[in-house]
Amino acid sequence: MKKHLSLIATIAIFVLMVAGASLHYKGFFSFGVFLNLLRDNAFLGVAAVGMTFVILSGGIDLSVGGMIGFTSILLGVLITKHHFHPAAAIGLSVAIGTAIGTSMGYVISAFDLPPFLVTLACMFLTRGLALVISPDTIAIDHPWYDAVSSAKTALPLIFLTVLAVGLYIAHARPFGRAVYAIGGNADSAALMGLPVGKTKIKIYAISGLCSSIGGVLLTFYMSSGDPNAGRMLELDAIAAVVIGGTLLSGGVGSLVGTLFGVLILGVIQTAITFQGNINSWWTKIVTGILLFGFILLQKVFQLRKTDS
């Protein structure tokens, strides 16, 4: 029960926000709005799944946004300029994203470097690469692409599938337990004989995979490749994970929480769109306040725990 206290708090806030918005705005409480919520935030959600693994292990990945921009523009160039079939282009760019993530993981574990710095370097690297590939947005015009992006349920389904696979890995596979263990106490995990290095490499590989899938989803959503796509998205992803109840210090948290973290960010945005007459940057302010509230809440939980 205690274990799930902060998850319960997250879900409660989500329910309260939806209830409040539904009472206030006519037509807010509908399947269509909910589906759009998932669709609009699918790319963020998928990136946040990868980020959850990273944060659970006590790390951080700042390269998410750069990776999304890089994947996005790579797809645009491959499909529109080099006439790749979208499936092949997607396969190639996701493979490259995963490879970049794997290399980050290797550098972090082999040289025992702080993930913050390694992924920061990678953030510049990927964003730079994206802008070198093409400084301008490239429209993607392909019947296969149009078909996917016009299907309303495609993006939500991909997001939920990634989430389900993530949940399975986190809770049913020994690898998932190793991620929690490393975040809980890395020294102990090593002494208990867990393959800490290999696990870290896999964690950043997963994050690379997720953020490049996020990049792919964004191209479906925008029907174009954009080297500037996903700017600061890593911070949104971190916010979603933390609001979802995962401790930034690692070891505690869940992907279910991350789902609700993403949904909460989405609801704020949708509600402000419904309001119509206020500046959309208010989304950021509300996110900031919520985030602050959650950090305080977690501190309270921790204090209560050490007291008992």
Note the residues at the interface with another protein (CB under 8 A): 2-3, 168, 171-174, 177-178, 180-181, 183-185, 187-195, 251-252, 305
Pick between residue 173 and residue 231 the one whose CB is nearest to another protein.
Answer: 173
Pick between residue 106 and residue 282 the one whose CB is nearest to another protein.
Answer: 106
Q: How far is the CB of 297 from another protein (least distance, A)?
A: 18
Pick between residue 76 and residue 257 the one whose CB is nearest to another protein.
Answer: 257
- In whole angstroms, how far apart are CA 102 and each of 95, 127, 167? 10, 18, 21
Strand, coil or helix: 210? helix
Closest to 294 (Cα-Cα) out of 245, 257, 232, 236: 245
Q: How far is the CB of 191 from another protein (least distance, A)?
A: 5
Closest to 233 (Cα-Cα) out of 55, 51, 59: 51
Query: Residue 93 CB: number of other CB atoms within 10 A?
Result: 27
Place of tokens 């070891």: 251
Q: How far is the CB of 118 from another protein (least distance, A)?
A: 22
Q: How far apart are CA 263 and CA 34, in angstroms?
A: 9
Pick between residue 78 and residue 196 the one whose CB is nearest to another protein.
Answer: 196
Q: How far is the CB of 194 from another protein (least distance, A)?
A: 5
Contact 251, 185 (CB under 8 A): yes
Closest to 34 (Cα-Cα) out of 153, 199, 116, 126: 153
**308: Cα within 13 Å, side-chain hemisphere:** 6
Pick between residue 112 and residue 143 the one whose CB is nearest to another protein.
Answer: 112
Pick between residue 93 and residue 258 the one whose CB is nearest to another protein.
Answer: 258
Contact 56, 183 (CB under 8 A): yes
Pick between residue 3 and residue 82 the one whose CB is nearest to another protein.
Answer: 3
63 CA to centre of own chain:
11
Q: How far is the CB of 202 from another protein (least distance, A)?
A: 14
Q: How far is the CB of 296 from another protein (least distance, A)?
A: 20
Query: Residue 248 CB: number of other CB atoms within 10 A?
Result: 15
Q: How far is the CB of 251 from another protein (least distance, A)?
A: 4
Token duo for residue 185: 């106490």
